[in-house]
Structure 1
Amino acid sequence: MTVSKSSLSSIPTCYATVSIGTPNTPLDQKLKAIAEAGFQGVELGFPDLLSFASKNYDKDVDAQDFDNLCDAGRKVGIMCEEVGLKIVMLQPFSNFEGWPEGSEGREDAFRRAKGWIRIMQAVGTDMLQVGSTDSSHAVSSLSHLASDLQQLCDLLAPHKFRLAYENWCWATHAPDWKDVWAIVQEVDRDNIGLCLDTFQTAGGEWADPTTASGLIEREGGKVAQEIQFQSSLKALGNTVPKEKIYILQISDAYKPPSPLDAEADEQGLRPRGRWSSCLRPVPFDGGYLPVVEVAKAVLETGFRGWFSMEVFDGGPDGQDQEWKDMGAYAKKAMRSHERLLEEAAD
């Protein structure tokens, strides 16, 4: 499909609140910086809601204190309205699907799901992002994963809420877009679609933070790797219906200063998960992933929905967590968004 420049002019712009400042940064300051940079919406990060609630009530609000979180969420909804921002999505809901029947983990997952639905009602959003599970306890069968997500879709449906399912490239059972797309098809519900991500796609299928080159090193070398990656992008552009893509998250990645350990860390986080947490700048700012190619593949489906900046930028060494000027950074992100559309057009 042709990606004409004119067709990209109305793409709505979004910014993840967890991608600017820190969880301790006052949320109103984050929203002000995002709005003044020209973004139209936000992904509301749960850590930001939790921090806001704790400050609002002058106590540590528990992640499952849904009464206080909903009350705080209503205030956040008003704050967003005041600066002209739509809350596009609540994120990130993790480790939901795949728990064994009768397990404590499964009970907790559904308890959290019902609480997050209440929060969605409170803040005024209709979309929940679910990341593909990275729990080692998850059951791997496609039918089991799909059954859990069917039940979540059915909990969301009476409220006319949607589930945006994202492949996390360090996930245990669905690290690639093809994996989550297969699960979404198996779920077969009208209110489930994909949350695609330039980092998760390129960082999982093209790059590897554990190698000296920063690339996946396959038999046949770079040529074979590039052929396989381009084949995957072509399949994405040709097979996923545009209406089944709910949002595209945007970020690049720095090549790690030295290869990351291939083993999971003490918390069980795999190398791509550690890479994701602090080495993800906006595109065209020191990263090395083929972000434009991924965005173009998504656009070739006909998708013209939300483009959302979701970055975790600790600088090239991953250690710079100090935020000197959120306003300037948000404006840089907007310039990156504009350039990305310019380069993705035919």
Structure 2
Amino acid sequence: MPLPYQSTQIPTSFASCSIGHKSSHTFPLKLKAIADAGFDAIELSMPDILSYGAFLSSDNKEPAPDDYDTLEKVAREIKTQLSEHGLKVLMLQPFANFEGWGPGSKEREEAFTRARGWMRIMNAVGTDMLQVGSSDSPAIKGKSVDELARDLAELADLGAAQVQGFRIAYENWCWATKAPKWKDVWDIVQRADRSNIGLCLDTFQSAGGEWADPRTKSGLIEGVSDDERDKRWKASLEELSRTVPADKIYLLQISDAYKMDPPLEDKEDKDGLRPRGQWSHDYRPLPYDGGYLPVEDFLKAVLGTGFRGWLSVEVFDGKAKDKYEDMGDYAKAAMHSLQKLLKA
């Protein structure tokens, strides 16, 4: 159900990884909740493909992440489920740590092998868009943005030969090694210079990286005055509205963030994830559901480009299980939050 905004209709999506917290919340039931709430599409998450593969298997074991023969079969079953619920797959996600590996390296070879496998899944499930998150590998610190752009361009060309209408939605992850801000990924997209590479913008990734900080007691970026921080944030939003063409924004992901109390320690966790990455994984509620980020500001800036494309709910809320017993209620709350954002 696209949402009315001014004289247009804005399509809506819900990330499949963002709903369900019980073993009984199976993938088909996720789709039912999302469809019943009025969403038009899902972002299909690889962990959901793996878990649905276990659901379909006789031994209840997930297929290996690189068993693409099996994953293709699972994807075709998912396509059938989607059709029954009147949903489409907006994109496959999250494709991580792809760009920046050295020529001839084992890591680069594995990244492109993985890309070809994911493209097989895209064809099987019927989607043309792949989300690529800006790499957070420490190994690419010395790489130039031109090298990252060349990798994305090569991926774009490979995908165009493998998937009809193939597109890359490149997203800034606010804990990324080289491209943590929207302006960083936009620079790389321009350098890649391919018509099938655009942006996946995200309210959390930008507001959580440029305005807020989970490591401070205030929850805000410190070391500057309140006026200076807000001035920089406003300038970033104005630049986005002024410089990014609407057709280069493929979607806007929507979520908020909880203020961390106590603040997160300024160190990597046992998995090597930086504080903002830890924050992202479990503390991102729906807008108007306990967070504090300037989500409305960022949405307004994106709409200011002329963008009238996909709004997609991607939340990771560890508290949701205590607030929403029923997935249907959660999906309806998500739709209501989008409606309220657009009205605001």
What is aligned with 2:66?
A: 64
For residue 137 of structure 2, what is the aligned residue in structure 1? 135
Counterpart of 2:315 (choices 306, 311, 316) is 311
Pairwise mapping of residues 140-151 of structure 1 onto structure 2 (< 5 A)? 140-151=143-154
Secondary structure of the structure 2 residue equivalent to 1:324: coil
Higher relative contact order by CA 8 Å / sep ≥ 6: 1 or 2?
A: 1
TM-score with structure 2 length normalisation? 0.95
Contact kept, 8 Å, 2:286 with 2:337, in 1: the verdict is yes
Which residue in the other structure is 1:190 paired with? 195
Counterpart check, 1:174 vs 2:179: yes
Give me the whole-angstrom Cα distance separating, in 1, the residues matched to 2:157 and 2:134: 18
Q: CA deviation at 1:60?
A: 2.8
Task: Identify the range of structure 1 (140-149 vs 179-188) with the bigger mean alpha-carbon deviation.
Answer: 140-149
Structure 1 residue 267: Cα displacement: 1.2
Question: Does structure 2 retain, via aligned residues, the 8 Å contact 1:218–1:224?
Answer: no
Residue identity matched to 2:15? A
Partner of 2:160: 157
Q: CA deviation at 1:323?
A: 6.1
d(CA) in 1 for partners of 2:328 and 2:110?
38
Map of 2:233 onto structure 1: 229
Computed over aligned residues only, the root mean square deviation of the Cα atoms, in angstroms, reads 1.5
Contact 1:73 1:123 in 2 (8 A): yes
Q: What do the CA deviations read for 1:194-242 (whole angstroms, capped 9, x no partner)?
A: 00000001000000000000000133x1100000000000000000000
Tell whether the 8 Å contact from 2:13 to 2:41 is kept in structure 1 after alignment. Answer: yes
1:23–1:48: 8 Å Cα contact kept in structure 2? no
The one of 184, 208, 213 equivalent to 1:208 is 213
Instruction: Indicate whether 1:269 and 2:269 are aligned.
Output: no
- Pair 1:116–1:23, CA change in 2 (3 A): farther
- Measured after TM superposition, the shift of residue 257 of structure 1 is 1.8
CA distance in 2, matches of 1:95, 1:321: 33
Q: Distance in 2 between matches of 1:250 and 1:322?
A: 19
Which ranges in structure 2 are unaligned for 5 or more consecutive residues? none
Deviation track 1:298-326 (CA, whole Å, cap 9, x = no partner) reads 000000000000000112xx9x5796210
Moved over 3 A (4+): 22-25, 320-323
CA contact (8 A) 1:194 1:244 kept: yes
- 1:55 CA drift (Å): 2.0
Number of the residue aligned with 2:113 = 111
Q: Is the 8 A contact 2:200 2:249 kept in 1?
A: yes
How many angstroms apart in 2 are the aligned matches of 1:323 and 1:275?
21
- Matched to 1:170, the amino acid is W
What is aligned with 1:333? 334
Report how far residue 68 of structure 1 moved: 0.3
Where does structure 1 lack aligned partners over 5 or more consecutive residues? Answer: none
Contact 2:68 2:120 survives alignment (8 Å): yes
Q: Distance in 1 between matches of 2:296 and 2:323?
A: 28
Q: Matched residue of 1:213: which SS? A: coil
Residue of structure 2 equivalent to 1:283? 287
Distance across 1 between alignment mates of 2:223 and 2:169: 31
Q: Does 1:298 align with 2:302?
A: yes
Name the count of aligned residue pairs. 335
